[in-house]
């Protein structure tokens, strides 16, 4: 019974939409314009947010570039072999 009522409702909605489009042809055109305006606004907002994030990231990376590690040696003689070692045996 539920399925039958669902089918009737779907057919009624499709019929009403078809009747509106046939009776008022400007509805479809106005609907398309409204959707295009909404999509355009979403794109403009997304681009503005991306630009704002890029601009706000500049001071962060400037500050990050000023701090660097100066107490670590990168000498090749400090490299230890990992052959025949277990990853579970870590030195703390």
Binning pLDDT at 50, 70 and 90, where does residue 59 land?
confident
pLDDT tens-place string over residues 13-56: 999 988 888 888 888 889 889 999 999 999 999 999 999 999 99
Predicted local distance difference test score (pLDDT) of residue 86? 67
**DSSP letter (8 states) at residue 8:** H
Output the CA torsion sign for 14, 15, 18, 20. Answer: negative
User: How much is the pTM?
Assistant: 0.50
**3-state DSSP assignment of residue 18:** helix
90: left (phi over 0), alpha (psi -120 to 50) or beta: beta
Is the pLDDT higher at 62 or at 72? 62
Predicted local distance difference test score (pLDDT) of residue 73? 67
Where are the chain's structural domains? 12-65
């Amino acid at each position: 019974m539920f399925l039958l009522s669902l089918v009737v409702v779907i057919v009624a909605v499709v019929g009403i939409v078809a009747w509106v489009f046939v009776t008022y042809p400007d509805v479809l055109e106005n609907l398309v314009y409204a959707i295009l305006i909404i999509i355009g606004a979403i794109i403009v907002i997304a681009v503005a947010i991306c630009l704002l994030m890029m601009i706000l990231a500049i001071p962060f990376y400037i500050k990050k570039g000023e701090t660097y590690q100066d107490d670590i040696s990168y000498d090749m003689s400090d490299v230890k072999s990992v052959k025949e070692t277990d990853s579970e045996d870590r030195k703390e």
